[in-house]
Amino acid sequence: MIQVKDGIFELTTEHTGYYFRILKTGHPEHLYYGRKLRLSHPAGCGADAITEKHAFAPGGTIAYSQEHPEMSLEDICLEMSAGGKGDVREPFLEVTHADGSTTSDFLYDSYRIPSGAEAGEEYDLPRSYDATGQAEYLVLVLKDKQYELTLELHYTIYPECDVITRYARLINESRETVHIDSMQSLQLDFATAPLVFTTFTGSWGREMKRTDTIVYDGKHVNASYTGTSSSRANPFVMLSDKSTTEDYGNCYGVNLIYSGNHYEAYEVSAYGKGRLVSGINPRGFGWKLEPGAYFTSPEAVMAFSKDGFNGMSQCMHAFVREHIVRGEWKKKVRPVLLNSWEAAYFDINEKRLLNLARAGKEVGIELFVMDDGWFGNRDDDTQSLGDWTVNTKKLPGGLKSLVDKVRALGLAFGIWVEPEMVNEKSKLYEEHPEWVLRIPEKPHSQGRNQMILDLSNREVQDYIIDSMKKVFSAADISYVKWDMNRIFSDVYSRNLPSDRQGELVHRYYLGLYRCMRELTESFPQILFEGCSSGGNRFDLGILSYFPQIWASDDTDALCRAEIQNGYSYGYPMSCVSAHVSACPNHQTLRVTPLETRFNVAAFGVFGYECNLCDCKREDLAAIKAQIALYKEWREVLQFGNFYRGRSFSGNSGDFHSCLRNSDGNVMEWTCVSEDQSRAVGMLLQRQVVPNAQFEYFQAKGLDPDAAYHFYNRLLKVNVKDFGDLVNTLSPVHIRQDSLLHELVARFVKLDGECEDVIACGDVLMYAGVKLKQAFAGTGYSEEVRHFQDFGSRLYFLEKL
Ligand code: DGJ
């Protein structure tokens, strides 16, 4: 709800409140964001309590004006700060005016509560949207009268998911061109600063590592300058108290609906106030704003919960599912896919692909995806990007013939493309060397042997749209994996004058979003998946067009568990694509149990990426059973509410857990259907700890009053797991790894442990289920839980 009462702007969601007022000086002062406050109680309005007292400016600071010598902008919480008038903290907006000055002063002019066209206004950038009819909008209009600039601060309230979004628009009403040096999307000031700033950093193959930094003073920056939202530093960040845990305590989450260079800085001022800004990275950015023109910053998203990190994640998940993801696939169950990449890499041809598809069909795969290697002379990664015509040596009948054959098997067909790129060795580059980002006449640096097409150029956008339309309509294509495999360097466009080169990366994204918008609108039935060497562009900008993103090129189950756990702080699992791959794993050479690979991938948008044609019969049978099970539970897994329990980093904030053997050694997840009637849990162990037999599973998100049937996935145990201990049971001596050992292993399967209890939700959540004892060197029976290194188990919960 939006109310303006007693001079205070109140923006409230179901559980949170965001409050600001206009100071005597005209500056919008931020008052409080967090738990919803009862400001309108008849006994008193509370406004006096939450407004900061400004009787004098602290020593050494700048007095704002002669009329207001008591006001120092450096020590006031503000809705936005432009710098130059005494606020020396991180600015929201920095402009160089035509006279060379960099001082701006934006003061309150008016506000409006738009509805209709302006409320859901579309612009070139992706933006959240509302189909529930519950969203409300506020525009606060500020003016810098000295320089005839208007700044609009736009707020959207999504009450049901406790999310508020912000973006800004700068309008040049003067007769002179101004230069925007930096313009953020969100500024969030705190009178009492939260201490912990959490970022999700990494690199290729190890995305989304949660890092907690305690900021007592000074500034901590999370930013990307790769030209992408990046695996180095995801734009999603959190602020919390030192005492916040997964389930208790204050937590703020902030994200940006943008895929380019971003910047999130958390600064604690000399006076102990906190300021978080989030927006386009000012480094390398600059925008010439001509008279009459305006610039709009991307939309930033904020959520608050008093119920810890999980509480905040629930808000973000609900928001992304309802207000970011759109189109036909928004609520549609995603098919189980088989991708050819790790099965064959570039070495594909029709026969090999069809064999793979057939093997997939046998085990229950629904969608077959042909990854890289199908076009031009694409035998490796040195050539052909840009030439989107079929390689007829590999696919003699063309795309249609292959797709028809795959369709005839009863599978849907998907294809890989990388439209934003070109190899120097390509027809496209021969014809259009001017279409790439590079500095004319200067040596150029490449990434994965490729160059980036200049998407700031409309001609290039048109080429991408046209060539992709041809590919997507050449056959019955149900899914597209849109890849992007290098970061930016030598950033320069021949399409822009020298004084506008700072606009290039942002213009690139405006161009990319246009391509994505046109293509998704033209092919609404296609399920698009974003990808950028895995998670190098996992952000809400991409998710506004493509409902899911390949989370990482690292398919090792142990790494993936951490990576997916990292994504889960800000993104719902229905957006996180995850595959089971071969072992030893191709990125780490680690061997993990097939069951664990399945269990981890099952919590994302699920598929396989391995050569099923080479799989052992036993593994194929296991895969078939996995897929059948997944299909029974995928509604819950894809669209349920996901909760984190204990995690490998042991930094769930639960410091008591450091006394337990399992601290940092288990990952615990629960995913619960919206109506709380069904849930799936997982416990994954990193390493076996000797003689540590006790373990438990603690569910989350259940109905505390309802009774549930809790049971585990029943498995058979391979006798070979026990090595030569087999002789403690065998009447004849069996040499380890001998033929006899193999034969025994094939025919003798041991029963795994069985967990089966009926208990109320409160028992399962607050006490947890004490599981069967783990193997501890004292013998094995079905009363013993066999978890090897990287062992895991799925648990199911059904309301009675
Ligand atoms: C990088 C992606 O992340 C992989 O999954 C695969 O599609 C390759 N590109 C293909 O070149």
In this predicted model, what pLDDT tens digit does every residue of 130-183 receive, in sequence order?
999 999 999 999 999 999 999 999 999 999 999 999 999 999 999 999 999 999
Retrieve residue 370's tokens. Answer: 């042909």
**Which residue among 204, 479, 485 has the greatest number of ligand 1 atoms within 8 angstroms of its CB, and so is best to mutate?**
485
21: enclosing H helix or E strand: strand 16-22
Backbone dihedral region of 382: left (phi > 0), alpha (psi from -120 to 50 degrees) or beta?
alpha
Rounded to whole angstroms, the Cα distance separating 276 from 244 reads 18
Cα-based distances in Å from 612 to 351, 520, 790 = 14, 31, 22
**Which residue among 203, 206, 337, 371 has the greatest number of ligand 1 atoms within 8 angstroms of its CB, and so is best to mutate?**
371
How close is the Cα of 205 to the center of ligand 1, in Å?
12
pLDDT at 122: 58
Ligand 1, residue 609: give the atom nearest the CA.
5
β-sheet bridge partners, residue 563: none
Rounded to whole angstroms, the Cα distance separating 678 from 663 reads 28
Beta strand residue intervals within 389-490, DSSP E: 412-417, 421-423, 450-452, 479-482
Q: Which residue has its alpha carbon closest to ligand 1 atom 5?
A: 553
Pairing of strands 136-144, 773-774: unpaired
Ligand 1, residue 533: give the atom nearest the CA.
3
Rounded to whole angstroms, the Cα distance separating 92 from 100 reads 19
Q: Which residue has its alpha carbon closest to ligand 1 atom 9?
A: 533
User: In the annotation, is 789 catalytic?
Assistant: no
Q: Which residue has its alpha carbon closest to ligand 1 atom 11?
A: 372
- Name the amino acid, one letter, at 623: I
Rounded to whole angstroms, the Cα distance separating 678 from 635 reads 10
**Which residue among 533, 554, 563, 586 has the greatest number of ligand 1 atoms within 8 angstroms of its CB, and so is best to mutate?**
533
506: enclosing H helix or E strand: helix 504-522
Q: Give the rounded distance of the alpha carbon of 34 from its chain centre.
A: 23
Candidate list 553, 554, 556, 654, residue with the active-site label: 553
Rounded to whole angstroms, the Cα distance separating 83 from 678 reads 53
pTM, to two decimals: 0.97
How close is the Cα of 250 to the center of ligand 1, in Å?
39
Ligand 1, residue 381: give the atom nearest the CA.
11
Rounded to whole angstroms, the Cα distance separating 324 from 517 reads 14
pLDDT at 656: 43
Rounded to whole angstroms, the Cα distance separating 629 from 623 reads 10
Ligand 1, residue 371: give the atom nearest the CA.
7
Ligand 1, residue 345: give the atom nearest the CA.
10
> Treating both helix axes as pointing N-terminal to C-terminal, what angle do 617-639 and 594-602 enclose, rounded to 10 degrees?
20
Rounded to whole angstroms, the Cα distance separating 220 from 267 reads 6
Q: Which residue has its alpha carbon closest to ligand 1 atom 1?
A: 533
**Which residue among 380, 531, 536, 579 has the greatest number of ligand 1 atoms within 8 angstroms of its CB, and so is best to mutate?**
531
Rounded to whole angstroms, the Cα distance separating 600 from 705 reads 29
Mean pLDDT over all residues of the chain?
95
How close is the Cα of 366 to the center of ligand 1, in Å?
21
Placement of tokens 């912000």 in the chain = 166
Is residue 168 within 8 Å of residue 92, measured between CB atoms?
yes
How close is the Cα of 545 to the center of ligand 1, in Å?
20
pLDDT at 653: 44
Backbone dihedral region of 359: left (phi > 0), alpha (psi from -120 to 50 degrees) or beta?
alpha
**Which residue among 550, 556, 560, 576 has the greatest number of ligand 1 atoms within 8 angstroms of its CB, and so is best to mutate?**
550
How close is the Cα of 552 to the center of ligand 1, in Å?
10
Ligand 1, residue 550: give the atom nearest the CA.
3
Q: Who's near 738: CB < 8 A, 6+ residues apart?
A: none
The DSSP secondary-structure symbol of 277 reads E
Q: Which residue has its alpha carbon closest to ligand 1 atom 6?
A: 341
The DSSP secondary-structure symbol of 687 reads S
pLDDT at 549: 98
How close is the Cα of 531 to the center of ligand 1, in Å?
8
- Name the amino acid, one letter, at 582: A
Is residue 551 within 8 Å of residue 564, measured between CB atoms?
yes
Retrieve residue 658's tokens. Answer: 């450091």
β-sheet bridge partners, residue 108: 142
How close is the Cα of 372 to the center of ligand 1, in Å?
7
Ligand 1, residue 416: give the atom nearest the CA.
7
Which residues, judged by CB distance below 6 Å to any ligand atom, belong to the binding site of ligand 1? 341, 371-372, 416, 483, 485, 531, 533-534, 550, 553
Q: Which residue has its alpha carbon closest to ligand 1 atom 10?
A: 372
Q: Which residue has its alpha carbon closest to ligand 1 atom 3?
A: 533
Rounded to whole angstroms, the Cα distance separating 392 from 377 reads 10
User: In the annotation, is 553 catalytic?
Assistant: yes
Q: Who's near 586: CB < 8 A, 6+ residues apart?
A: 342, 555
Placement of tokens 């493509």 in the chain = 546
Closest by Cα among 153, 62, 63, 142 to 104: 142
Query: At 468, phi and psi to the nearest 5?
Result: -70, -40
Rounded to whole angstroms, the Cα distance separating 117 from 560 reads 43
Rounded to whole angstroms, the Cα distance separating 485 from 333 reads 28
Count of CB atoms within 10 A of residue 332's CB?
12
How close is the Cα of 609 to the center of ligand 1, in Å?
11
Residues of the chain short of pLDDT 70, as ranges, are 116-122, 650-663
Rounded to whole angstroms, the Cα distance separating 315 from 327 reads 21
Q: Give the rounded distance of the alpha carbon of 144 from its chain centre.
A: 37
How close is the Cα of 257 to the center of ligand 1, in Å?
24
**Which residue among 203, 338, 341 has the greatest number of ligand 1 atoms within 8 angstroms of its CB, and so is best to mutate?**
341
Candidate list 87, 483, 554, 556, residue with the active-site label: 483
Q: Which residue has its alpha carbon closest to ligand 1 atom 2?
A: 533
Ligand 1, residue 534: give the atom nearest the CA.
3
How close is the Cα of 622 to the center of ligand 1, in Å?
27
Count of CB atoms within 10 A of residue 241's CB?
16
Rounded to whole angstroms, the Cα distance separating 466 from 464 reads 6
Angle at 304 between CA 302 and CA 306, to 5 degrees: 170
Rounded to whole angstroms, the Cα distance separating 694 from 543 reads 41
The DSSP secondary-structure symbol of 436 reads B
Beta strand residue intervals within 448-540, DSSP E: 450-452, 479-482, 527-530
Closest by Cα among 147, 25, 607 to 334: 607
How close is the Cα of 479 to the center of ligand 1, in Å?
15
How close is the Cα of 482 to the center of ligand 1, in Å?
9
